[in-house]
Amino acid sequence: MRDLPKPRRVPSFMGPLFRWLFQWPFRIALAGLYRAGFLPWQLTVLSVVANGFVGWLIVTGRFFLPGVLLVVSGLLDVFDGSLARLRGEESRAGAFLDSVSDRISDVILFGCLFWALAGQGHVLPAALALSALIVSLLVSHVRAESEALGVSLAEGLVQRLERYVLLMIGLIFPHAILPVLFLLNALGAITVLQRTYSAWQQLGGKARPALPRRVK
């Protein structure tokens, strides 16, 4: 069996702490998934399905159980890429599927949260849930646009890990959803500015290709 990889390095606020705390439980669970014969794309699809179920629970007005189940969908999202590396099956198609499924999950979770809060007459939290969705999509969009231009851009104060953890806290603990949504918006906006500035610096520092000379 191949050497078990550690959790992926995530240059974010909580990334280094989680990598240090959970590297051995992560490896044990990853070995179990490998021996059980799971494929990376199966974990990706299961993560989206789990988030769909969580979204349905939120729409029905239940918050505590969805907050707990987010742990499951979050772990599935973490393990798919590591399982692909362990099996030697990393590919651009797999990375594309993973990225698209992440965006679908974000839309499901925040969209259902907006729907539930708006239906309960909580106007401000509903508006913040919608804006948190927009900010989360912007965080990913800035990275995608930068990488399309050849710029490596992985840093960010708040990334997917932090969004999951904060959303779990907001759903599990009573009356925590409003401050959590404020944090998601504020820290997400800082992340967008951080990534935009980093990309701008990297793009500005590259030498422009010389224009072809005209033939006289």
Secondary structure (3-state) at 157 = coil
- Which sequence positions are flagged as catalytic? 102
Q: What is the DSSP letter of 17?
A: H
The pLDDT value given to residue 31: 85
**Contact present, 112 and 56 (Cβ < 8 Å):** yes
Q: pLDDT tens, 142-173?
A: 988 888 888 877 777 777 888 888 999 999 99
Q: pLDDT tens, 71-119?
A: 888 888 888 888 888 888 888 888 888 889 999 999 999 999 999 999 9
pLDDT higher at 216 or 9: 9
**Contact present, 106 and 137 (Cβ < 8 Å):** yes
Whether the model clears a pTM of 0.75, i.e. scores above it, the answer is: yes
> How far is residue 79's CA from residue 16's CA, in Å, rounded to a whole number?
17
Q: Is the pLDDT reported for residue 69 higher than 80?
A: yes
The pLDDT value given to residue 26: 78
Domain 15-199 architecture: Up-down Bundle (1.20)
